Structure 1
Amino acid sequence: MQIFIVEDQVVQRDKLIEMANELISEHDYPFELNPVTEPVAILNEIKKFDPPNIYFLDIDLQSHKSGIDFALEIRELDVHGYIIFITSLTDKLYEIVEQYITPAAYVIKHESNILLSKSDIAFALQSVSGREKLRESTDIYTFMVGADEERLPYDDILYFETIPRTKKITLYTRNGIYTIVDFLKNVKESLSGHSQFSGVNSYLVNLNNVVSIDRKNGVIILVDDIKIHAGRRVINTIYKQFQELNRP
C-alpha cells in the first residue's frame, strides 16, 4: 500500500516523511512512502497502484487548488483510499464534512510540540492498518454510499452490474439495492481472492446465491427468485464457474 504526502511546506513535508518512516519501521506496517509529492503528478501516479492507498494531504495547499478540491479528485480515482488531512485550522474540519470526503483521520499541526503531531500520525496509520486487517480477514464487503461507509456480509450480496457510460455500479443484495461510485474492475480485484464471485463483462455474481442457470433461455436464477438475463458469453462463463464451485 502506497503512502502519498501532499504538503507544500518543505520543512513540514520532510518532518512528516521522517515520522512516517519511523512509524512504519517500528510497527512493521506494509506501507511504502511514494517519492512523488507534486499534486498533479500524484494523480497520474495513483493509477499505477492497486487501491486503496493512503494520502496525507495538507488542507491549506498554496496552489491553484485547495487541499479539499484535490481530495475530491483523489476520491474519484481511489474511492476507498484513506485520506488523512493535515491542518492547523480546526474550523476547516466542518468544510471537509460538507464536501463528503470522509477522511480516515486528521493530523493537527502542533507548531510548538512536534511529538503531538507524531501521535496524530501514529493514530492515523494504526487506524488504517486495523481497518485493512479487518477488511482482509472477514467476509464483509465495505463500500461508500455518499458520505457513509456501508458494510455487508458476502452472503447478502447477489450481484454487481455496471451502469453503462458512467463510473457507477449497481449492487443488488438480499435486502436492497445500492449505487456505488467505482469501476467494476476495482470491485473484481478487491474480491478476487473469493472464489464464490464470478465476473464477466459488466457483471460480478455471487455464485453462492445462484439457484440455477437456464442456459437455453439465458437466465441466471438467484435466491428470492431474482433473475439476471444475459448474453451467451456471460451465461456460459458463469455456468462453468458455478459447476466448478459446486463440484463434489
Structure 2
Amino acid sequence: MNIYVIEDDNQQRKQIIHYLNECKHIFFDLKISTLSNHLTFMEEIPKLTINDNDVFFLDIDLMTTYTGIDLALEIRKYNAKCSIIFLTSLEDQAISVLNNNIFPLGYLIKNFKNPSETKQIIIEMIKKSQLTSKNFWRFKQDKVEFSSGSETLFFNARDICYIQSLKGFNGRVLVKTLTEETIIEAKIGKIKKQLQQEYMMTSLQSYIINLENIISIDRKNEQILFDGQQLLSIGAKSIDKVKKALRVYSDD
C-alpha cells in the first residue's frame, strides 16, 4: 500500500506523515512515497504504477497552476479503484469533486488541534480504503465445498476470514466468514489440503488465515482484524508468522 501526501504547506504535510508513521504498527504494508513536490507531481503521475490499494492525500487548494482536483482527475485516468482523500480547510468543496466523478474516499479537514482525533480519522480512512479494495477483489467468486458429516457445504473462499480448529471438540472446525460462522465436522488438516489458494495461509497448526481479508494487526493486544469487523485473538508468535506470510504474499 503506497501512500502519497501532496500538500503545499510543508508543516501540515509533516504532521500528516507523522500520523501515518504512527499507524505503521497497524498496517504492515504501509509505505509513504518520497514523491511529494506538489509543483511537479502532475508530471510524475503517468510514470507511477498505481495499485488498487494505493492511497492519495491531495490538498484541494494547491498553490500552483493546478488543484488537487486536477491531480485526482489525472490519477483516475490510470486507476479507477485507488483511494483519494482530499485535504481541505473548507467542508463545502465536495460538490465540485462529485460533479467531476472522482468519487473520493473522504475528506480530511485540516484542523490538527486534536492529534489523537486526527490520527484516528486517518486510521479509519486507511481501513476503509483497504475494505474498498477488497470488495473489488471479491467480485470474482472462488467457490469451495466442505463435507460435514452427511452434508456438503459451499463457501466463497474469498469471503472466509479464518478457519479454526475447536479445542475440546475433536474433528470440528469453525469457519468464520464476513457475515456468519459455521461449525463443520471435519479435521483442519483435511480442510488445509482442500484450500490451495495462494491467499490462504495454512502453515499454522490450528488456524487457516485468509491473508486478503486482513484489515489490520494489533500485536500488542494479540488480535487480527478482518473485513466485516471480525476479530481473531491469537498468540504473539502466531501473529508474527502471519505478518511474515503477509509480506511474502504482498511481494508476490
The TM-score normalised by the length of structure 1 is 0.51
Q: Does 1:84 align with 2:85?
A: yes
Question: Which residue number corresponds to residue 30 of structure 2?
Answer: 31
Q: How far did 1:56 drift?
A: 0.5
Judged with a 3 Å threshold, the aligned counterparts in structure 2 of structure 1 residues 83 and 6 are, in CA distance, closer, same or farther, namely same
Measure, in 2, the Cα distance between the counterparts of 1:50 and 1:67: 17
1:178-226 superposed Cα distances (whole Å, 9 cap, x missing partner): xxxxxxxxxxxxxxx9xxxxxxxxxxxxxxxxxxxxxxxxxxxxxxxxx
Measure, in 2, the Cα distance between the counterparts of 1:62 and 1:55: 18
Q: Does 1:51 align with 2:51?
A: yes
Question: Which residue number corresponds to residue 220 of structure 1?
Answer: none
| Aligned alpha-carbon RMSD (Å) | 2.4
Number of residue pairs matched by the alignment: 141
Residues 195-206 of structure 1: pairs in structure 2 closer than 5 A: none
SS in 2 for 1:27: coil
- Asked if the contact 1:36–1:45 (Cα under 8 Å) also holds between the matched residues in 2, the reply is no
Letter of the 2:135 counterpart = L
Measure, in 2, the Cα distance between the counterparts of 1:70 and 1:132: 21
Name stretches of at least 5 consecutive residues in structure 2 with no aligned partner. 142-197, 199-252
Judged with a 3 Å threshold, the aligned counterparts in structure 2 of structure 1 residues 27 and 138 are, in CA distance, closer, same or farther, namely farther
SS in 1 for 2:22: helix
Question: Which residue number corresponds to residue 118 of structure 1?
Answer: 119
Letter of the 2:12 counterpart = Q
1:89-131 superposed Cα distances (whole Å, 9 cap, x missing partner): 0011122112211001211112432333222211110101222
SS in 1 for 2:86: strand
1:142-199 superposed Cα distances (whole Å, 9 cap, x missing partner): xxxxxxxxxxxxxxxxxxxxxxxxxxxxxxxxxxxxxxxxxxxxxxxxxxx9xxxxxx
| Structure with more helix by fraction | 1
Question: Which residue number corresponds to residue 225 of structure 2?
Answer: none
Letter of the 1:82 counterpart = S
- Asked if the contact 1:4–1:42 (Cα under 8 Å) also holds between the matched residues in 2, the reply is no
Residues 1-248 of structure 1: pairs in structure 2 closer than 5 A: 1-23=1-23, 25-39=24-38, 40-41=40-41, 43-44=43-44, 47-52=47-52, 53-137=54-138, 139=140
- Asked if the contact 1:59–1:86 (Cα under 8 Å) also holds between the matched residues in 2, the reply is yes
SS in 2 for 1:64: coil
Letter of the 1:99 counterpart = N
Q: How far did 1:42 drift?
A: 6.0
Judged with a 3 Å threshold, the aligned counterparts in structure 2 of structure 1 residues 51 and 30 are, in CA distance, closer, same or farther, namely same
Which ranges of 4 or more aligned residues in structure 1 deviate by more than 4 Å? Answer: none
Measure, in 1, the Cα distance between the counterparts of 2:50 and 2:92: 33
Name stretches of at least 5 consecutive residues in structure 1 with no aligned partner. 141-192, 194-248
The TM-score normalised by the length of structure 2 is 0.50
Q: How far did 1:41 drift?
A: 3.7
SS in 2 for 1:3: strand
Identity of aligned residues (%): 29
Letter of the 2:63 counterpart = Q
